[in-house]
Amino acid sequence: MSEDTTSQSNGFSTRAIRAASTAPVMRQRPNAVPIYQSATFSAEDAGELGDILGDRVPGYAYARIDHPTGAAMASAIAELEGAEAGHPFASGMAAIHAALLASLSAGDHVVATRAIYGSTQALLQRVLARFGIDATFVDPTDLDAVAAAFRVRTRVLYLETISNPTIVVADLERLIGIAHERRVRVIVDNTFASPYLCRPAELGADLVVESCTKWLGGHSDVIAGVVTGGSAAVEQVRRIAVDTGGNIEPFSAFLVLRGIMTLAVRMERHCASALAVARFLETQPGVDRLYYPGLPSHPQYQVAQTRLRAGGGMLAFDLGSRDAAARAIDALRLPPRTASLGSVHTMAVHPPSHTHRQLDDAALAAAGIPPGLVRVSVGLEDVEDLIADFGAALAASGSAVHA
């Protein structure tokens, strides 16, 4: 502790403030990234502070702009994604918002996959539309329709690696090629896959967004997001974040970093259990259709075989009606009644009522979301217990004959 900090010539309050804010000098490197729970960071002099705030030299001044824990999180995810750089956000939607704002101006046009997260669709149709930004929604499996949707002012092709909630698998390499032929930026939401299953940046995507709340965090205890991509493109996103807010707070970044360390082993279990549950559900009476990329029955099975490392932890099935879906979800014993995904807990939701509640019946039909769809994020419970629970729930809901 420096002599200046403990100088007896200072008053008690001054000494207390200086003493309690002096970090220890350590030779050893911690094995976990520290939580830098500080709103501000000191510079050597006024000139250095101005240079840091003006982005003329690297460093930290104000945690709403940057802080070491968030920077470590973004850097780690960029490494996993195969991207040059990343910037952390307080939520996945904050990341999506910044990525779009960094890529668009008034009068621009977006081509987006038709079945995307409900809040993303609402952002495009209700928020950005107020500022003269138009969006066209297309089936990403119809490459001719995607190509035909581009206009003179199209600036972004927005895709999801695996569509929420219909589990459509995009042929990213071909779609990115269509966009880049027209000098259009590609933004890919990789949340359903995580970098364990797919790395869109390595396939040419300009920006990749992830809700770190999901597989990356993995434990339903943090809200966070990230944008990764080329250094220049991420710097554009960062400048939007500086002026609009939405930067992650240190403890959340720490939790995401902790989750990343076990991502691979968790995803192996999620994928294996999801495949087993999907195989079971596909044989059940009352299940009109089962959507899982790891099964040959999936329409994009061949694409999934080449673009995904495994089938993933997400599946969906159609019970034919809203009532049947609600009865099945209510009859489940293990999944909590909650809306999210990518957790140690299995989660089952009814997209028309929950994740895509912003859409009316016509919009749901246009997005290819049937009224009886149940979306499942398969957790880490014993798979035998999950299969028994889903079987009993289908029987209790009247959707299946349970043996």
Options 18, 64, 174, 309, the catalytic residue:
64
Do residues 245 and 382 both lie within one domain? no
Task: Assess whether 228 and 284 both reside in one domain.
Answer: no
pLDDT score recorded for residue 7: 65
With the CA atoms of 177, 108, 84 and 116 taken in that order, what torsion angle do they form, in degrees rounded to the nearest 10? -70
The yes-or-no answer on residue 64 being catalytic is yes
Domain membership flag for residue 83: yes
Same domain membership, residue 64 and residue 191: yes
Query: Do the domain assignments include residue 245?
Result: yes
- Residue 5 pLDDT > 80: no
Last residue of a domain, one of 205, 236, 260: 260
Q: Are residues 248 and 101 in the same domain?
A: yes
Does residue 39 form part of some domain? no
pLDDT tens, position by position, 62-119: 999 999 999 999 999 999 999 999 999 999 999 999 999 999 999 999 999 998 998 9
From the list 155, 214, 307, 375, the catalytic residue is: 214
Instruction: Please indicate, yes or no, whether residues 279 and 256 belong to a single structural domain of this protein.
Output: no
Domain membership flag for residue 282: yes
Q: Within 10 Å of residue 146's Cβ, how many Cβ atoms?
A: 22
Decide which of 260, 282, 302 is a domain's last residue.
260
The Cα–Cα gap between 168 and 298 comes to 9
Residues 6+ away with beta carbon under 8 Å from 24 = none
Q: Is residue 41 part of a domain?
A: no
Mean pLDDT score, 141-161: 98
Q: Given 66, 108, 189, 389, which residue is catalytic?
A: 189
Q: Which of the residues 36, 60, 117, 196 is marked catalytic? A: 117
- Asked if residues 295 and 279 have their Cβ atoms less than 8 Å apart, the reply is yes
CATH of residue 330's domain is 3.90.1150.10
Indicate whether 106 belongs to any domain: yes
Q: Across the chain, what does the average pLDDT equal?
A: 94
291 and 202 within one domain: no
Looking at the domain assignment, is residue 305 inside a domain?
A: yes
Domain co-membership, 294 together with 217: no
> Does a structural domain hold residue 338?
yes
State the alpha helices, DSSP H only, in 21-67: 46-53
Q: Is 189 a catalytic residue?
A: yes
SS (H, E, C) 360-387: CHHHHHHCCCCCCEEEEECCCCCHHHHH
pLDDT tens readout for residues 237-286: 999 999 999 999 999 999 999 999 999 999 999 999 999 999 999 999 99
Q: Read off the pLDDT band of 311 (50, 70, 90).
A: very high
Q: For the chain, what percentages of helix, strand and coil (3-state, to nearest 5) are there?
A: 40, 15, 45
Token pair 């802080």 is at which residue?
67
Q: Give the pLDDT confidence of 386-401 residue by residue, as tens digits.
A: 999 999 999 988 865 4
**Same domain membership, residue 131 and residue 19:** no
**Widest pairwise Cα distance in the chain:** 83
Same-domain pairing of 131 and 255: yes
Q: Which pLDDT belongs to residue 356?
A: 80
Is it the case that residue 349 has pLDDT exceeding 70?
yes
Last residue of a domain, one of 260, 287, 321: 260
Concatenating the DSSP letter of every residue in 271-333 gives HHHHHHHHHHHHTSTT--EEE-TTSTTSTTHHHHHHH-SS--SEEEEE-SSHHHHHHHHHH-S
- Domain count of the chain? 3
What string of DSSP letters covers 148-175? HH--TTEEEEEEESB-TTT-PBP-HHHH
How sure is the predictor about 366, in pLDDT bands with cuts at 50, 70 and 90? Answer: confident
Say yes or no: 54 and 71 in one domain. Answer: yes
pLDDT band of 403, cuts 50, 70, 90: very low
Give the confidence band of 21 by pLDDT, cuts at 50, 70, 90.
Answer: confident
89 shares a domain with 74: yes
CATH number at residue 69: 3.40.640.10
Q: Which residue range forms the structural domain that includes residue 255?
A: 46-260
Do 145 and 17 sit in the same domain of this protein? Answer: no
Q: Could you tell me which residues come within 8 angstroms of residue 279 by beta carbon, excluding any fewer than 6 positions away?
A: 295
